[in-house]
Structure 1
């Protein structure tokens, strides 16, 4: 697959819904050896979940799925189209998500990342997430299971300006 270059300034981020599900699933097929099933996406279409998409024109090039409960947020999935990886789109989406979660009053953010996904681990660590340990056998693989690294980030509350 050939990599295509794009300008981050031309990205827009919107909320996704069930009508975007086919595009999300097709995108993840280009990006992951272990894509989510339709059932996994449908399970996440409830009130506590949110889907954010990064668009380049009318093309979905990345997305985030999160879950919220009280003041805690969990990053369920961050995916960037295979042709647009290593161009900062994942970081752009992650930073947008971090700012929106802080603005929503979240105090703690958590995620799991495959131990074999070193690029994602480095991305999360570079944005302040700290390794909290391992969950053995968390992910299914073609030949068994793989451990997840658990990561978390504490957020400071947004303070209103003086004025």
Structure 2
């Protein structure tokens, strides 16, 4: 991507809105395209029903990403964060992550926890760029084409959220 396209993507207005049932069809279209083992529509519906912080990101009215955050005392667990396949690599994931961290911080969380596949190099690079550190490993956490894949557990203090 050239520098101007990257800058335009960074400056384009994103609208962050609470997720609702009307979003589920668009969410599932993204989820099933970007993950070999996607969440079900019921997973998203249950997360909203449970009162988790569920957000969508829209640009020009089009849903391009979403996140599900589970607050727990002074920590937030980032359960799902996704960007539409055709929008990846343009800085939207970073913008979603910054928003997730700020929502969590404003909500009283002092840290964020997440799991990521060791094979997901792009996500690992993003998280490390934003100060997340590996604090553990969950054996056989994710389904995989052949057997199971471990998850790396990452954590970040939320103090001041900066790019």
The TM-score with structure 1 as length reference comes to 0.87
Deviations 1:125-146 (A, max 9, x none): 1101110121110001232110
Q: In the alignment, which residue of structure 1 is the partner of 2:31?
A: 28
Distance 1:48 1:71, change over 3 A: farther
Q: Spell out structure 1 runs of 4+ moving beyond 4 A.
A: none
Structure 1 residue 157: Cα displacement: 7.6
Structure showing the higher helix proportion among its residues: 2
Q: Over aligned residue pairs, what C-alpha RMSD do you find? A: 1.8
Deviations 1:45-73 (A, max 9, x none): 23441211111112100111110122110
Q: Does 1:106 align with 2:119?
A: no
Deviations 1:65-116 (A, max 9, x none): 1101221100000100000000000000101111121111101210000111
C-alpha separation in 2, matches of 1:98 and 1:72: 11
Q: In the alignment, which residue of structure 1 is the partner of 2:149?
A: 146
Q: What is the SS of the residue equivalent to 2:33?
A: helix
The aligned length equals: 154
Unpaired segments ≥5 residues, structure 1:
159-163
